[in-house]
Amino acid sequence: MADVVDKDTMKNYHIASERINPEASRYPYCVVWTPIPVLSWLFPIIGHMGICTSNGVIRDFAGPYFVSEDNMAFGRPTKYWMLDVSKVYASGSNAWDTAVHDASEEYKHRMHNLCCDNCHSHVAMALNLMRYENSTSWNMVNLCLLALIHGKHVRCSTC
């Protein structure tokens, strides 16, 4: 049984990784990160974060009452963390995209606060709504650390 689960997980990763296209800024099932000028230079762990749909469309809480689509507030992603769609425990045929959409709609009604209700909180809400890894405890701190640990640098020649 464990072998079947492992094979399915690897298959999901393989399919998603084949669809990653840095030239087109497409990162399906990924959390993406980009540095914030000056702030990230002083504190390299701090940056701007977004979450991508199953098609790779980037959604990010870019400012007060505004969630952008495919136009990150501080430029194209420089790092991405590919997540495993098989670890989504929410019900529904399209739980990933529904959670990203619902979190984005909620954050369109929120004031941006650099310290406590920001782009990381938006991504955390999406992961909590989809119950990623069967958890509803995602927050900006664990996301920041896990993205730092698991994030891969974007490599493309035309970016």
Residues 133-147: pLDDT tens digits?
999 999 999 999 999
The one-letter amino acid code at 14 reads H
Residues 25-62: pLDDT tens digits?
999 999 999 999 999 999 988 999 999 999 999 999 99
Segment 113-120 mean pLDDT: 92
Q: What is the mean pLDDT of the chain?
A: 89
Strands (E), 87-139: none
Distance, in Å, from the CA atom of 61 to the CA atom of 49, rounded to the nearest integer, reads 8
User: Between 119-130 and 140-150, two packed helices, what is the crossing angle to 10 degrees?
Assistant: 90
Residues above pLDDT 70, as percent of the chain: 86
Segment 4-28 mean pLDDT: 68
Confidence of residue 5 (pLDDT cuts 50, 70, 90): very low
Distances (CA, A) of 118 to 10, 64, 110, 134: 32, 9, 9, 23
Segment 97-121 mean pLDDT: 96
Helix (H, G, I), strand (E, B) or coil at 88: strand
Polymer length in residues for the chain: 159
Q: What's the alpha-carbon Rg for the chain, to the nearest Å?
A: 15
Cα 83–84–89 angle (5° rounding)? 110
Distance, in Å, from the CA atom of 60 to the CA atom of 66, rounded to the nearest integer, reads 9
